[in-house]
Structure 1
Amino acid sequence: MSFQTRGAVAALLLFQLCQPALAQSDEPTHRAPENIGLDNSPDDVDNQLADSEGRYDALLPVGPLEPIHRQWEDVTRRLSGDVGLELGLNYTVLYQGADTSLPGWQSQAAVGDLDFFGRWNLVNRGDSWPGALVFFTENRHRLTEIPPSDLGRAIGSLWGTTNAFSMQDYALTQLYWEQGSREDRLISRLGKMDPESIYDRSRYVSANEAFVNQAFSTTLAMPVPNTGLGAALAISPITNTYIVAGVHDANGAKTSFGDIEKGELFTAVELGVAPGHGKPGAGLYHVTLWHSDSREAAGIPGGRGVALTFQQELGPDGTIVPFIRYSYGEGGAMPVRQAIATGFGLERPLGQNNDLVGIGFSWGQPTDRTLRDQYVIEGFYRLQITPHTNLTPDLQITFDPSENSAEETIVVGGVRLRTLF
């Protein structure tokens, strides 16, 4: 019996076991605080919980998994109301195929990504800033010979055709305590966390939700470590402004608790302004400064750099959202020295509240100046096909791939299927 089949059977058994034991509650599933500065990423656990709770306008009123969705909603609503435990589950499949590849490499890649996560509000549950234990677990299993995370190397690109979507055994990748104070306008996190979901994030920086290519779904010239032990603090000194500062294990690893005892750290500070936060016409402007210690065992030198992001909603409903992002870094064994990514998102183009069109252009300068600069154009359409499932066709064109001088352009087509529980 496959991992996915065993998981489905276990989930159904859990539903049946939990149903008679839990009392009915009308409390909403997700009541997380508004973490200005820490909630800029769609991949943040709080945002994923809110996303899982939504029932979106869709082409089809119900999907084939509707009975399971309704059972899941009933159980999670009761858990939230009774013990403050909010749970989310999603499954994402990404397929990508290139029109060429380097000798010895495959030109097609696909992976399945199963995420189970939650937030257990344990202190001041009735408050808008509860103390909570937050966790995230995931499994990534390849569906082809190589996963999409390797396709960039397969075609000779300077960076990946996607962020994440690698292979990984089921693991507890995040486990941290979050505590806030509305009076002091601050919130803190301590434990094993993902720095990539904290620094230099914005609404389209997510390979799960928006652009797929690494030029748009991460910060190319910033060597953010993997999930590991660390601490982060966000404070809003003035309305719609924030400062985020953090220190993290530079040797973080998703499948372990890393090597914090080595004292090799990644530190970052972000200063941001979010005018009109939470209202149509809102903007997001921030600058991130970072430093990475040298990693002796890995043979990686220290580094430092800066990243800037500017994003602004336009139009009467704020549904046109242009953005521009810039990053520069030196040291840290990064393949990219500096990069620019710009484009726009068009939200709700057909009136459905989760549909999204995105078009972006990027440029990247290699750290190795013997290589040529690389450019990428990406376009996608995220279509909500059922209230809980979206389908995203994606097209990328890479110009002058830095590590494949035999090609001038490489086309990568892809499709992402994502179901939320």
Structure 2
Amino acid sequence: MFTLKEEPLAVTDRIEGLCRCAARWFAVFLTAALITLQPGLSLAESGEDQQAIDSSQREGAFTSPDSVGNLLSSNREEKSAFYGLRPFEPWREWKEKVHQNTGIQFNIDYNSLGFKASDSLGDDSAAGGVLRFYGKWLLTGGDTNDTGSLIFKVENRHAYGDLAPREYGFELGYVGVMNCCYSDQGTRGSNLYWRQSFNDQRVVTYAGFIDSTEFIDAYPLASPWTGFSNLVFATGSASIGGLPDGAMGAMAAVWVTDSVYVIGGITDANVDQTDFFRGFDTFFNDFETIKNIDIHWTPKREDLFFNNTHITFWQIDEAEEAGTDSGYGVAVSFTRAADNKFLPFIRGGWSKDGGSILEASLSVGFGYQDQDVSGAGLLGIGLNWGRPNEDTFGVELDDQYTAEVFYRWQILQDLELTPSIQLLVDPALNPDEDLITVVGLRARVVF
């Protein structure tokens, strides 16, 4: 389905042309929407059906659960925890007073992850942690529907030993990333941008140092902090090259009709999050960028994130400092909420060069959550087929298969534990192994 080498040349040429015109599409859609959008349409908050599956979408359902606004909203909500203890309640009350007096909301969370494999070419275990400080400062439009806020996020990513979880997949001979975020990068910047909404929130824009994974190919279970861990079940299905966070750029999301909205963005492809402000130089002087256009459809506005079909076109320039070739591709996603508890999904992507891990990828699975149960946890099950990108690895590798099962257990209001199992079938760089089993444990505490 996604191996366009077998399709007519005209199809490939058409996709390339669409991707390379992404910036012009973005401008056209934005201009048209500002002129033609009908009154009364607004960026929807999550409806009751969505809350029954996950309650992470509040600031704008077009963004991922990991956007700062959605994190802040989710962390303020009452959760169905297994234990009713609230050890940080005085601290939460003080933060709320700060918010009321200054317009500043913030959180601190600490995240920890460990993996242990049944077999490895090198180390059979990896572990690391991430300390995050993030928030937003509401500065304009506080008494209106259209607001302007400064968004910020700073992190410290560290390994507990010699090997961080981010590099763990290749240690096993697996072509992939077991978790994209638990590296040994140290202190880094992830967000520093201005978020502005217009026209009763029918248009939302970002400008500054942004995280492209918040709005490109987003869906509810993509979070490496609270959802699936493996990159094949996250943004881009491991088939999109680039996707930096902390990158200089801009994004706009626009409602075109009651059921269709469009997201366009452009970000710097040469990113060093540990030298945050150097992005001014690389973006404006080198101007080697990744561009995207996401076109979304939903049956009704209130369900736009959970009942969602979208297609993503992307293109990346050759990035000299990042050491990646130019490329382009397409990703697709389909999710439908069922019975207020289930969220099945079908997702995939195809790429031509561009430094992606996989040339073609297809994932199916579902999430399940019953909010009526005390300590309601999120169960996720996913299966993936992937073809490694020959351009990235310089050699044609065999297809490989991945399965992941996780259960996120809400122990306290501010404490989650997530055990997981990943099955790596026919790892492409370890042909002597047919199956590697990886057991994981992730923890997150919010202050």
Residue 277 of structure 1 and its aligned partner are, at CA, apart by 4.2
Amino acid paired to 1:35: G
2:253 maps to 234
Question: What TM-score do you get using the length of structure 2 for normalisation?
Answer: 0.81
2:99 maps to 80
1:130 maps to 147
Q: In structure 2, how many angstroms separate the alpha carbons of the residues matched to 1:90 and 1:362? A: 30
Deviations 1:248-301 (A, max 9, x none): 101122222331120111110000013334459950111000000111344422
2:437 maps to 411
2:342 maps to 320
Asked if the contact 2:82–2:375 (Cα under 8 Å) also holds between the matched residues in 1, the reply is no
Q: In structure 1, how many angstroms separate the alpha carbons of the residues matched to 2:113 and 2:434? A: 25
Q: 1:173 to 1:279 in 2, by over 3 A?
A: closer
Larger helix proportion of the pair: 2
Q: Alignment partner of 2:191: what SS? A: strand
Asked if the contact 1:33–1:129 (Cα under 8 Å) also holds between the matched residues in 2, the reply is no
1:60 maps to 83
Q: 1:295 to 1:279 in 2, by over 3 A?
A: closer
Q: In structure 2, how many angstroms separate the alpha carbons of the residues matched to 1:51 and 1:218? A: 20
Q: Which sits farther off after the overlay, 129-138 or 349-358?
A: 349-358
After the TM superposition, which segments of 4 or more aligned residues of structure 1 sit over 3 Å from their partners?
276-282
2:166 maps to 149
Q: 1:42 aligns with which of 57, 65, 69?
A: 65
2:320 maps to 296
Residue 240 of structure 1 and its aligned partner are, at CA, apart by 3.8
Amino acid paired to 1:272: H
Q: Alignment partner of 1:160: what SS? A: coil
Q: 1:122 to 1:115 in 2, by over 3 A?
A: same
Q: 2:293 aligns with which of 254, 262, 269?
A: 269
Is structure 2 residue 406 aligned with structure 1 residue 389? no
Asked if the contact 1:271–1:286 (Cα under 8 Å) also holds between the matched residues in 2, the reply is yes
Is structure 2 residue 239 aligned with structure 1 residue 221? yes
Q: Which sits farther off after the overlay, 273-282 or 185-194?
A: 273-282
Q: 1:61 to 1:117 in 2, by over 3 A?
A: same
Q: How does 1:15-30 map to 2 (within 5 A)?
A: none
2:354 maps to 332
Amino acid paired to 1:141: H
Asked if the contact 1:271–1:287 (Cα under 8 Å) also holds between the matched residues in 2, the reply is yes
Amino acid paired to 1:224: G
Q: In structure 1, how many angstroms separate the alpha carbons of the residues matched to 2:206 and 2:123? A: 41
1:176 maps to 193
Deviations 1:216-250 (A, max 9, x none): 12321101332210000110111242100011101
Asked if the contact 2:220–2:306 (Cα under 8 Å) also holds between the matched residues in 1, the reply is no
Asked if the contact 2:258–2:301 (Cα under 8 Å) also holds between the matched residues in 1, the reply is no
Q: Alignment partner of 2:123: what SS? A: coil
Asked if the contact 1:33–1:130 (Cα under 8 Å) also holds between the matched residues in 2, the reply is no
Is structure 2 residue 211 aligned with structure 1 residue 194? yes
Is structure 2 residue 373 aligned with structure 1 residue 351? yes
Residue 196 of structure 1 and its aligned partner are, at CA, apart by 1.5
Residue 335 of structure 1 and its aligned partner are, at CA, apart by 3.1
Asked if the contact 1:292–1:332 (Cα under 8 Å) also holds between the matched residues in 2, the reply is yes
Q: In structure 1, how many angstroms separate the alpha carbons of the residues matched to 2:360 and 2:305? A: 30
Q: Alignment partner of 2:319: what SS? A: coil
Is structure 2 residue 325 aligned with structure 1 residue 308? no
Q: In structure 2, how many angstroms separate the alpha carbons of the residues matched to 1:100 and 1:371? A: 20
Q: In structure 2, how many angstroms separate the alpha carbons of the residues matched to 1:46 and 1:353? A: 24
Residue 142 of structure 1 and its aligned partner are, at CA, apart by 1.2
Q: Alignment partner of 1:382: what SS? A: strand
1:12 maps to none
Residue identity over aligned pairs, in percent, reads 29
Asked if the contact 2:209–2:248 (Cα under 8 Å) also holds between the matched residues in 1, the reply is yes
Asked if the contact 1:268–1:291 (Cα under 8 Å) also holds between the matched residues in 2, the reply is yes
Q: How does 1:363-374 map to 2 (within 5 A)?
A: 363-368=385-390, 370-374=396-400
Where structure 2 has 5 or more consecutive residues not aligned to the other structure, the ranges are 1-56
Asked if the contact 2:241–2:357 (Cα under 8 Å) also holds between the matched residues in 1, the reply is no
Q: In structure 2, how many angstroms separate the alpha carbons of the residues matched to 1:247 and 1:153? A: 30
1:377 maps to 403
Q: In structure 1, how many angstroms separate the alpha carbons of the residues matched to 2:201 and 2:419? A: 44
Is structure 2 residue 110 aligned with structure 1 residue 91? yes
Amino acid paired to 1:225: L
Asked if the contact 2:409–2:417 (Cα under 8 Å) also holds between the matched residues in 1, the reply is yes
Q: Alignment partner of 1:48: what SS? A: helix
Amino acid paired to 2:60: N
Q: In structure 2, how many angstroms separate the alpha carbons of the residues matched to 1:72 and 1:349? A: 26
Residue 127 of structure 1 and its aligned partner are, at CA, apart by 2.0
Q: Alignment partner of 2:95: what SS? A: helix
Q: Alignment partner of 1:202: what SS? A: coil
Q: 1:161 aligns with which of 147, 172, 178?
A: 178
Residue 168 of structure 1 and its aligned partner are, at CA, apart by 2.3
Q: 1:139 to 1:108 in 2, by over 3 A?
A: same
Query: Which structure ranks higher in relative contact order (CA pairs < 8 Å, sequence separation ≥ 6)?
Result: 2
Residue 406 of structure 1 and its aligned partner are, at CA, apart by 1.1
